[in-house]
Structure 1
Amino acid sequence: MLRIAARRIREEGMERPGIADLMKEARLTHGGFYKHFSSRDDLMNQAVALALADGEEKMAHAAEAARDAPRSGLIDAYLSAGHRDAPGTGCALVTLGGATGRGSPDMKEAYEQQVRSYLAMFGAGPGSSDDERAEAMLTLSAAVGAVLMSRAVADPELSDQLLTMVAERLKARP
């Protein structure tokens, strides 16, 4: 049920998936919902946390796969057509940013934790300099923004350019 909700909120947003629809997709009765969650808000908080954690796991794998150049590997994985084309399994930083900004403190904390984790992956871990931190923030912001815009534009060529050109520029940076 939680995985279904995490996928659906990334695909449709926080307002769309109703409990009845989620329960039907999970093949559970509506009454069984309250055995697992105290409310729809509880479900949404947990689904946001799971969606964010899923993205971190994928990014960690991308960094491991590119051992010689983990930053480039992260950029290539994040700014890929596959990521753009799969919002239901993609990074929740892109799909849930606006909703989490208006969400509960728990949602905001989960989102912040994910931002901090990605910043560390991009080189802004404990003890990093202000320049390293700024560079990681720029990289993450540009990557999230490029994916968001590449999903929103109608022109497929522009969508591809947003991904490829931003990736090229980010990888050319120190």
Structure 2
Amino acid sequence: MGHSKAQKEANHNRIIEAAMDLLRHKGLDHMGVAEVMRAAGLTHGGFYSHFDSREAMVAEALCTAFARDERRLDKAAAQRGGEKRRAMLEAYLSPGHRDNPVKGCTVAALTGDFTRADPALRHIFTEQVRRYRDQVAAMVPGAAAEGQALFAFSAMIGALLMARAVDDEALSDEILAAARRHLAAAIEPE
């Protein structure tokens, strides 16, 4: 019995959603096709009617996750009107983001994995870093906006990862607060 085009699209989207969550939770190399299909509530045998390979699924899941992350960053920045930089920092360097890596920033969840990824996935990552640089630079006035944006984004990821790694919640909160405070000062208009 065949599936309708709408059902196939819905199943495809479920696979991508499951893959995004599992990628952020387990990493690039620790997620299998069978596990993704099980998480999507589908049988393993249906995978190849959606993707040519695991790599194709991972690439699509990454692109979808990155696009969603960009929209989330834009939404966070828009919540404070003219204070976009501060709103972005508060949303990104928050206990809520720290405590929910599966639904958080894909770059933060997978940066270490990309150092060992195949060239096609590294290229997707590289293009995303460029888009984030441009997105954050648009919030930072001045001739050095791109450099400040790269610094800010790198420091945000580093602070978030450290806050997630320590086993002392007070220290974790302190890391996030210090990063917010110092980054706000570093990327304020000159």
Do these two structures clear the TM 0.5 threshold for a shared fold by scoring above it?
Answer: yes
For structure 2, list consecutive stretches of 5 or more residues without a partner in the other structure. 1-14
Give 1:100 shift.
2.0
The answer for the alignment partner of 1:21 in structure 2 is: 35
Whole-angstrom CA distance in 1 between matches of 2:114 and 2:65: 12
Matches within 5 A, 1:136-147: 136-147=149-160
1:104 and 2:82 equivalent? no
> Can you list the C-alpha shifts for 1:101-160, whole angstroms capped at 9, x where unaligned?
3223332222222212222232269x962x222211111111010011111111111111
Matches within 5 A, 1:107-146: 107-123=121-137, 129=143, 131-146=144-159
- The structure having more radius of gyration, on CA atoms, is 2
The answer for the alignment partner of 1:7 in structure 2 is: 21
Aligned-residue identity in percent:
36
Selected match of 1:154 from 139, 152, 167: 167
The answer to whether the 8 Å contact 1:52/1:110 transfers is no
The answer to whether the 8 Å contact 1:7/1:51 transfers is no
Aligned residues: 172
TM-score w.r.t. the length of structure 1 is 0.91
For structure 1, list consecutive stretches of 5 or more residues without a partner in the other structure. none
Give, as a single letter, the amino acid of the residue that structure 2 aligns with 1:120: D
The answer for the alignment partner of 2:7 in structure 1 is: none
Whole-angstrom CA distance in 1 between matches of 2:101 and 2:89: 17
The answer for the alignment partner of 2:82 in structure 1 is: 68
Once the two structures are overlaid, the 10-residue window that deviates more, 116-125 or 7-16, is 116-125
The answer for the alignment partner of 1:94 in structure 2 is: 108
Give, as a single letter, the amino acid of the residue that structure 1 aligns with 2:146: R
The answer to whether the 8 Å contact 1:150/1:160 transfers is yes
Selected match of 2:73 from 15, 34, 59: 59
